[in-house]
Chain A
């Protein structure tokens, strides 16, 4: 697997990925491993920040890879693989977020907050949990994952205008929730 990766390492990443995709179609297991190794960390990181749960993120990343490999034959353009993979991942995360929102955790104002890094992460988690899945995903992809508008639009499968308006609303709501929460501290 590693040998195979080093053989084609000299090529540019896009061409390399295209080659892997076409080899997977022919049943090449090494190419499968290369593609997983390339996208694994970023995919799990994105899912982790969307779901705020590392174990669930790993499950979603695994499910995304399997779904993408299952439908690799349907891809018209081999270069489209990574976009397709991230789109599946974001969609799966949003499905889970919608389910989670139904069992929304109340913000616990009685809990002591000292403003430490862990405290802040917990607080961000609770604030994000109060946003609808679409707004939350847009905010996380843009602010935490630092994706461009075009990438957010591609991964969420919506027009750029929708990303713009969702982001505006999400920022506004997050800011208000944050001000309320800080006021309660």
Chain B
């Protein structure tokens, strides 16, 4: 019941004891090893003191509960309002742009054209292709400014 292997087992079981109930056999091993191994007994004692101190150092919440609750609820409401603005604003902007587009196209459709159907332009615009390149209009203008 003594030796490096037994010390390792003792250490492991001491750790596990805080998380699960040890079997009778394991408890017996711990008791026997503690009785014969001073180093392990001392380590166990120090561990016990260390974790005892850790548990004793627990801090309790010290808060003005009414004030805290009101503040959180108020901030949550502000947050909710901001979120809904952020959620709806793209839809609102999209809607506004669509309305503007519809308005503009209706306005354009109601305008009369610059050339009225009742007053067709006089004369005809015609381009004549001849077999004489010199008589083509651009060439004539170029030569006789």
In the assembled complex, the CB of A135 is this many whole angstroms from the nearest CB of chain B, namely 13
A65 neighbours in B (Cβ, 8 Å): 72, 76
Tell me the interface secondary structure of chain A in the complex: helix
| Interface assignment of A117: CB less than 8 Å from any CB of chain B | yes
Measured as residues with beta carbon below 8 angstroms from the partner, the interface class of chain A is 35 or more
A124 neighbours in B (Cβ, 8 Å): 53-54, 57
- Among residues 2 to 48 in chain A, which have CB atoms less than 8 Å away from a CB atom of chain B? 27, 29, 32-33, 36-37, 40-42, 44-45, 48
Measured as residues with beta carbon below 8 angstroms from the partner, the interface class of chain B is 20 to 34
B60 neighbours in A (Cβ, 8 Å): 45, 48
| A171-B56 Cα distance, complex, nearest whole Å | 16
Chain B interface (Cβ < 8 Å from any Cβ of A): 15, 19, 46-47, 49-51, 53-63, 65, 68-69, 71-73, 75-77, 79-80, 83
Chain A interface (Cβ < 8 Å from any Cβ of B): 27, 29, 32-33, 36-37, 40-42, 44-45, 48-49, 52, 54, 57-58, 61-62, 65-66, 69-70, 117, 120-121, 123-125, 139, 143-144, 149, 167-168, 171, 174-175, 178-179, 182
